[in-house]
Amino acid sequence: MLELYYFENSICAERPLMVLAEKGVTDWVPHHIHLFRGEQFDPAYLKLNPKAQVPTLVHDGAIIRESTLICDYLDDLYPHPPLKPGTPVELAHMREWIKEADEGGFEGVASLSFVAVFRAKLMAMPEDERNAYWAGQTVLERTQRQQSCVFDGFDSPYALRAIAIWERIFAKIDKTIAAGGPWLMGRQFTLADLELATFIARLDGLTLLEPWIAGRPHAQAWWQAVSNRPSYAEARVGPSGEETESMGREGARAVGEFKRKRAEYVARYGAG
């Protein structure tokens, strides 16, 4: 039996959801973990995922954590159509994209989400409620990042780091697709495209994507192609449900400040 613990608006949980859709796998058991209701801290869930994060996959009793590892596992479990290239060199190159997305891209999207949207939500909470929210967290690094984004907004060093990493990723996507698309690994759609896509969908939902792809026609064409895949819609990638409206509205409010910060970054360090 295959069971997936996920939250519909989690950019990490959308990764395995999209893999399942690509593979046409439908016989899995969904377990919804509502992050805004604190269900990730439920003692039963903490046994599956001590970091209190989604997604978690349970396959015949075996627990698999970390979205990248879950996607890899699912691709091995359901080999058709393959989402990994066939040669060791290509495999290493595909994994380099995912490593960059995981090491900096995730933190970047999370920071921008907090600066643009969750900041307002947390600032509107009474102080003791906000402190209780952070006190329940299990990863100190994440708590400190969130606090910096909430209290300092675009002046947080994490906002600048977010801009730096995504500037580099978008420049690299544009250059790679120009050299031979339509996908990051050439003719084959792979986990590299898919695993970046769910992160970029959040930037899109926050209305922060357009400034990054406007002057990058190849990255733009790639994004069109990824977001037009049936699996993207089937997995409901991008803000959905109760989050859609607030993400778009709050994100649009932040876009002016984002553009100013990005212009400052580009003037100082260059684009990509």
Task: Write out the residues near ligand GSH by the rule CB under 6 A.
Answer: 10-12, 35, 40, 52-55, 66-68
- CB burial of 249-263 (b: ≥16 within 10 Å; e: otherwise) equals ebbeebeeebeebbe
Q: Of 54 and 185, which has the nearer Cβ to ligand GSH?
A: 54
Nearest to 223 by CA among 184, 249, 166: 184
* Smallest separation (angstroms) from ligand GSH to the CB of 40: 5
Q: Of 30 and 217, which has the nearer Cβ to ligand GSH?
A: 30
Q: Of 11 and 162, which has the nearer Cβ to ligand GSH?
A: 11
- Triad 158, 135, 11: Cα angle to 5°: 50
Backbone angles phi, psi at 63, to 5 degrees: -95, 125
* Smallest separation (angstroms) from ligand GSH to the CB of 213: 22
Q: Of 12 and 177, which has the nearer Cβ to ligand GSH?
A: 12
The residue with tokens 């996607």 is 71
Q: Of 139 and 214, which has the nearer Cβ to ligand GSH?
A: 139
* Smallest separation (angstroms) from ligand GSH to the CB of 218: 27
* Smallest separation (angstroms) from ligand GSH to the CB of 221: 27
SS3 string, the chain, reads CEEEEECCCCCCCHHHHHHHHHHCCCCCEEEECCHHHCHHHCHHHHHHCCCCCCCEEEECCEEEECHHHHHHHHHHHCCCCCCCCCCHHHHHHHHHHHHHHHHHHHHHHHHHHHHHHHHHHHHCCCHHHHHHHHHCCCCHHHHHHHHHHHHHHHHCHHHHHHHHHHHHHHHHHHHHHHHHCCECEECECCHHHHHHHHHHHHHHHCCCCHHHHCCCHHHHHHHHHHHCCHHHHHCCCCCCCCHHHHHHHHHHHHHHHHHHHHHHHHHHHCCC
* Smallest separation (angstroms) from ligand GSH to the CB of 91: 19
* Smallest separation (angstroms) from ligand GSH to the CB of 179: 28
* Smallest separation (angstroms) from ligand GSH to the CB of 64: 10
Q: Of 55 and 85, which has the nearer Cβ to ligand GSH?
A: 55
Q: Cα(69)–Cα(102) distance, rounded to whole angstroms?
A: 11
Q: Of 54 and 116, which has the nearer Cβ to ligand GSH?
A: 54
Q: Of 67 and 190, which has the nearer Cβ to ligand GSH?
A: 67
* Smallest separation (angstroms) from ligand GSH to the CB of 56: 8
